[in-house]
């Protein structure tokens, strides 16, 4: 209501005080509920985080082991390849005519196979 350009309240101050008390009480109840939910969820979140950490550690361990195995196998293959090349070099030096004959036969066979595959 308005009298002489000033607004006046139609309700009493007791009504507004009671409304504020209800709002405050609802706010407190909501905070308490949120706190209860957070407290209840915390152990579950901690268990999930702990399990995730263990899984990451296991996967990391497996990956590390796999990488070490791969490096070891790579070194073995490199050594075996170098030994094979050295053995072939020694054979060619010891048997040059036989090596030329083997190379010629291999070249002939490969050229026939490629010609056969291309339909000639």
The answer to whether the predicted template modeling score (pTM) of the entire model surpasses 0.95 is no
The pLDDT tens digits for 52-111 are 999 999 999 999 999 999 999 999 999 999 999 999 999 999 999 999 999 999 999 999
Q: DSSP letter string over 43-102?
A: HHHHHHHHHHHHHHHHHHHHHHHHHHHHHHHHHHHHHHHHHHHHHHHHHHHH-HHHHHHH
- Beta-sheet pairing, 2-3 with 6-7: antiparallel
């Amino acid at each position: 209501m308005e009298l002489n350009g000033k607004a006046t309240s139609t309700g009493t101050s007791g009504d507004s005080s009671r409304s504020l008390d209800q709002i405050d009480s609802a706010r407190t109840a909501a905070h308490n509920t949120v706190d209860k939910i957070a407290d209840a969820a915390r152990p579950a979140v901690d268990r999930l985080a702990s399990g995730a950490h263990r899984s990451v550690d296991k996967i990391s361990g497996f990956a590390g082991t796999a990488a070490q195995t791969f490096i070891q196998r790579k070194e073995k293959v490199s050594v075996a390849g170098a030994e094979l090349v050295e053995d072939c070099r020694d054979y060619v030096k010891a048997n040059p005519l036989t090596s030329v004959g083997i190379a010629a036969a291999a070249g002939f066979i490969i050229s026939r196979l490629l010609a056969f595959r291309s339909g000639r």
